[in-house]
């Protein structure tokens, strides 16, 4: 177990291979430049810890995972013509999470809007409470979700449905989000973090080498055509079969016991 590491707006701790990262900028966790910088620092610390096999992102307070970009920073972005720089910084952070070396889960309570939803979309899995509302409302401000929403959402739920959500900016509730495939699980109000941690601990019981390998294979495969992706898979499984992770997994199966997780 790692003691909590805390910055002004972001903190994280780990237990049994599961890291939990908490955004804490009351009351709605807007993604200011400082919060995103702190989040970037935290996830780099987690990536450097070989004992961590899964990571959860969570918004403190219960009212919002995050309502997205801090609109109070927009006038400066406009005045200084920093739109491109702002978008590139967001892409760098969300891409780092998307291609993070171990599986990631967003635990969503309350509002998950704009850049907050783009942050959740960068995670592998999403667990939402039944009171959650999810949206990409940027069009209502005259902009659009330029932090990966226009790319990740269509790949996740299909082009037509993604276009409707982006063009209208209207929210969906947790049940509709589940029906669309936007979230993996819907749980009672107040239980998103606990449910995500239960799922995360299940994942963290697996071999760290195997999780990192299959995550990399799937991440790379999404950017390739079918035949190229299959070759990546063949190369990776060939190497994995020589590892202690596979040998331990096979021994555990034959001995009718649980495999011991390896970093």
Residue with the larger pLDDT of the pair 62 and 260: 62
Length of the chain in terms of residues written: 263
Query: What is the layout of strands, in order, in the sheet containing 18-23?
Result: 2-6, 10-15, 18-23, 54-59, 104-108, 125-129, 185-187
Q: Which of 76, 109, 118, 159 is catalytic?
A: 118
Residue 97 CA neighbour count, 13 Å, CB half: 29
What would the mean pLDDT of 220-234 be, rounded to a whole number? 92
pLDDT, tens only, 87-125? 788 899 999 999 999 999 999 999 999 999 999 999 999
> Which token pair is 45?
């610390």
pLDDT, tens only, 38-76? 999 999 999 999 999 999 999 999 999 999 988 887 777
Helices (H) and strands (E) in the chain, counts: 11, 11
pLDDT, tens only, 151-164? 999 999 999 999 99
Please indicate whether residue 138 is annotated as part of the active site: yes
Contact (Cβ atoms closer than 8 angstroms) between residue 121 and residue 177: no
- For strand 18-23 and strand 10-15, is the pairing parallel, antiparallel, or unpaired? antiparallel
What would the mean pLDDT of 7-33 be, rounded to a whole number? 96
Residue-averaged pLDDT of the chain: 93
Tell me the pLDDT band of 226, cut-offs 50, 70 and 90: very high
Tell me the pLDDT band of 247, cut-offs 50, 70 and 90: confident
Tell me the pLDDT band of 3, cut-offs 50, 70 and 90: confident
Contact (Cβ atoms closer than 8 angstroms) between residue 167 and residue 145: no
- CA–CA distance, 228 with 241 (Å, rounded to integer): 20
- Residue ranges covered by each domain of the chain: 2-204, 208-254
**DSSP string computed for 197-245:** HHHHHHHHTS-HHHHHHHHHHHHHHTTS-HHHHHHHHHHHHHHHTTSHH
Residue with the larger pLDDT of the pair 83 and 235: 235
H/E stretch holding 196 reads helix 192-204
2-204 to CATH, choices 3.40.120.10, 3.30.1330.10, 1.10.1790.20, 3.90.226.10: 3.90.226.10
Q: Which of 138, 176, 198, 239 is catalytic?
A: 138
What would the mean pLDDT of 23-38 be, rounded to a whole number? 96
> Which token pair is 112?
């998950």
- CA–CA distance, 51 with 4 (Å, rounded to integer): 16
Q: Does 126 score more than 80 pLDDT?
A: yes
- CA–CA distance, 183 with 215 (Å, rounded to integer): 19
Q: Does 261 score more than 70 pLDDT?
A: no
Query: What confidence score (pLDDT) does residue 258 get?
Result: 80
208-254 to CATH, choices 1.10.3470, 3.40.980, 1.10.12, 1.10.10: 1.10.12
H/E stretch holding 121 reads helix 115-121
């Amino acid at each position: 177990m790692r003691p909590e590491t805390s910055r002004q707006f972001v903190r994280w701790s780990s237990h049994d291979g599961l890291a939990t990262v908490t955004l804490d900028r009351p009351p709605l966790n807007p993604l200011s430049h400082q919060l995103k910088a702190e989040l970037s620092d935290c996830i780099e610390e987690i990536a450097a810890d070989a004992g961590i096999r899964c990571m959860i992102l969570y918004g403190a307070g219960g009212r919002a995972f995050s309502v997205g970009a801090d609109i109070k920073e927009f006038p400066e972005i406009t005045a200084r013509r920093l739109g491109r720089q702002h978008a590139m910084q967001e892409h760098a952070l969300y891409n780092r999470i998307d291609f993070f070396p171990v599986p990631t889960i967003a635990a969503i309570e309350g509002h998950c809007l704009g850049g907050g939803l783009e942050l959740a979309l960068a995670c592998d899995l999403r667990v939402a409470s039944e009171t959650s509302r999810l949206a990409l409302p940027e069009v209502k401000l005259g902009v659009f979700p330029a932090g990966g929403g226009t790319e990740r959402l269509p790949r996740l739920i299909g082009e037509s449905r993604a276009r409707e959500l982006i063009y209208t900016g209207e929210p969906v509730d947790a049940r509709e989000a589940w029906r669309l495939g936007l979230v993996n699980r819907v749980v009672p109000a107040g239980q998103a973090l606990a449910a995500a941690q239960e799922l995360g601990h299940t994942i963290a019981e697996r071999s760290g080498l195997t999780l990192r390998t299959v995550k990399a294979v799937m991440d790379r495969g999404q950017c390739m055509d079918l035949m190229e992706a299959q070759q990546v898979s063949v190369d990776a499984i060939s190497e994995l079969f020589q590892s202690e992770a596979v040998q331990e997994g096979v021994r555990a199966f034959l001995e009718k016991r649980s495999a011991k997780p390896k970093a």
